[in-house]
Amino acid sequence: MGGGNWLIISQLYNNIVQEERNAEWLLLMEVGVLPDIEKESKTVKTCKRLSDSFLSSGRLDAEYYQPKYDYLFYQLSKFPTSTIGELTKIDKSIEPGSDAYQETGVPFIRVSDLSKFGLTDTAIHIDKEEFNNVIRPQKNTILLSKDGSVGIAYKVEEPLDVITSGAILHLSLISTDVLPDYLTLVLNSPIVRLQAERDAGGSIIQHWKPSEIENVIIPILPMPIQQKISGKIQESFRLRKESEELLNNAKRKVEMTIEGIA
């Protein structure tokens, strides 16, 4: 493959990164958590009355009451908000156990196969007939990891004949207040990461309870802003797909060249 094509792929990648950053930057600037949220994160001293702490939240750990969380919720209070439980229907998949793993059948997707950019190919499959009635991701389903690497969100572009592990929740929109791409970006942003961190008491999050996820607060920005953010996200995915196609074509040409030499 010529050097010019590699330059095209490199430029596409740079454009992808820029579109993704622009989308998150627009979100955070609209909500007002950037750059001040980083300044607040460095402040660790706070004082709370009993009525404002344990009696209202049931939490005694000091990490739960750090100023950065107060600041986040103060910023969110300036906007209409809804919880994930109000915006989506949350479904859980299954844990068939390693005994059910096989080389053929329905692809079984674990958290390690999930990223905010999509699903990677898996070598693990499970029996299609035995698990025929298990939920499958549909178009605009948002897959959200709750165990291991928690808080990874990906919006499915089309119906998929795959089965996800029980560590991945299926979120289906039941409200017209938010666009699916917008909600996915919020889920992947510091707005939600900080809420997950607070739920875990500031420790490394290994398990995020569905009951906590249901209560995560989502800012409802005006629809024109959501549409602008969604447009940037969709453009980044379009560019990502284009770059992957170019890269695959390049690999095929290299393989054909090697075979020709051999």
- Per-run averaged pLDDT (10 residues), the chain, 262 residues: 58 65 86 64 48 47 74 94 98 94 96 94 95 96 94 96 97 98 96 89 77 97 96 85 72 72 60
Q: In the chain, which ranges are continuous DSSP H helix?
A: 3-31, 36-41, 54-57, 67-76, 84-87, 180-187, 190-199, 210-214, 223-261
CATH of the domain at 114: 3.90.220.20
Q: In the numeric block, which tokens belong to residue 177?
A: 């207040």
Residue 132 has a pLDDT of 94
**117 is in which domain, residue-wise?**
3-261
107 Cβ contact list (under 8 Å, min separation 6): 121, 122, 124, 125, 161, 162, 163
Neighbours of 158 (CB within 10 A): 8
Residue 79 has a pLDDT of 95
3-state secondary structure of 218: strand
Residue 158 has a pLDDT of 95
* Contact in structure between 92 and 210 (CB atoms under 8 Å): yes
Q: Give, to the nearest 10 degrees, the angle between helix 3-31 and helix 190-199.
A: 60
Neighbours of 93 (CB within 10 A): 22
User: How many domains would you assign to the chain?
Assistant: 1
Q: How far apart are CA 135 and CA 115, in angstroms?
A: 20
Tell me if the pTM is above 0.85.
Answer: no
Whole-angstrom Cα Rg for the chain: 21
